Structure formats: C-alpha cells, structure tokens
Amino acid sequence: NKITPIILVGIENTQRRRDLTGFTEVEEDKKIAPVVGGSEKFRAFINDELFPEIEKKYRTDGKKGIIGESASGLFVTETLFLKPEMFDFYIAFDPSLWWNNHYLVRNAKENLKNLPQKEIKFWFAGSDAKDVSPYTNDLAKIFKSENLPNLKWEYSDEPKEKHTTIFRATKEKALIWTLKKNDR
C-alpha cells in the first residue's frame, strides 16, 4: 500500500549483451560481448512496438518507467541520457557504467543538457563491485554538482552489498522512493 499500482512488463531479449549495450571502442568489452551496440534498436522496439501494444491492451495513466540491473542498468542509464523523454522514471541497480571506458559517466554533463523540461526521476544503487562503484559514485557527484531542477534523483550507495545481492537488498527502497503514492 506504499506505491500506486503499476503494470509491470518483463521484456525478454534475444541477446542480452548485444541488446543492452551501446557502442564500445574498448577491446576488453568486445571480448566479453563479441556482438555489441544493439541498445538503439532495442530502445526502438520498446518505443515503436511494445508501448503501442501495452496502450492498446491495458488501461494506463500514460506514465512509463524502466528498471534494470547490471547490463540492463547500463541500458536504463543510457536511455536516460540519450532518450530521456521515453520514460518518466528510471531505476538502475549496479549499472555497468564501466562499459566503453565509462563513456556514459564521462559524457554525463553533456548528456544532461538533453533532459526535457518535465520532471524525470532517476534512482540508482551501487554495490561494492570495484568495476561499478567508482562510476556510480562519480555519477552521483555529477548529478549533485549539476543540480538540475527537472531531474529528481536518489543514489543508494551500498558498499556492504555485492553485485549479486544489490537488487534483492534495494528493490523495495527503489520502488517506494520512485513510486510513492503521494508523488504520482
């Protein structure tokens, strides 16, 4: 009874690392994921095919959000920066911000200029993962320094959690902060 009821849609993809990553210039990334850079097409699928199906089949209030962990948290964060108008709220658990030599963090200030005037919420968490926490912490510092009035954000620094436990440990906190009954 803490959040407004929502329709939750799980999206299966065909090749996780391809569908959830943007381009990379880092050879180590290509070893982890030989086929990359499909995030733009996956976003287009969500926007052009999935959204219309949901609107056609279900009664909605028009508000949309996206939740992801690890590589899908990277996708969530990339979508916030590249297509911020697509969703009203974004939740990313331990996003793989190390991708492409932490490209999203390095370009965050520039990408924040693309935010629409409407309020957007972004909740994210970082665990003790050494390849993630420096970049989630850096992103929080950037958000704090930029202090944009249309970006309502919350960072949950969780150094006692592991990459494998962060979702279970923080999911309720994320949903309550993002979807408080009084906020919607």
In angstroms, the CA 160 to CA 173 distance is 16
pLDDT greater than 50 at residue 184: no
pLDDT tens readout for residues 127-167: 999 999 999 999 999 999 999 999 999 999 999 999 999 99
In angstroms, the CA 82 to CA 139 distance is 15
Mean of pLDDT values over 90-98: 98
Model pTM score: 0.95
Query: Quick check: 153 and 117 in contact, CB under 8 A?
Result: no
In angstroms, the CA 173 to CA 179 distance is 10
pLDDT greater than 70 at residue 182: no
Query: Quick check: 60 and 7 in contact, CB under 8 A?
Result: yes
Mean of pLDDT values over 91-114: 97
Where residue 79 falls among pLDDT bands split at 50, 70, 90?
A: very high
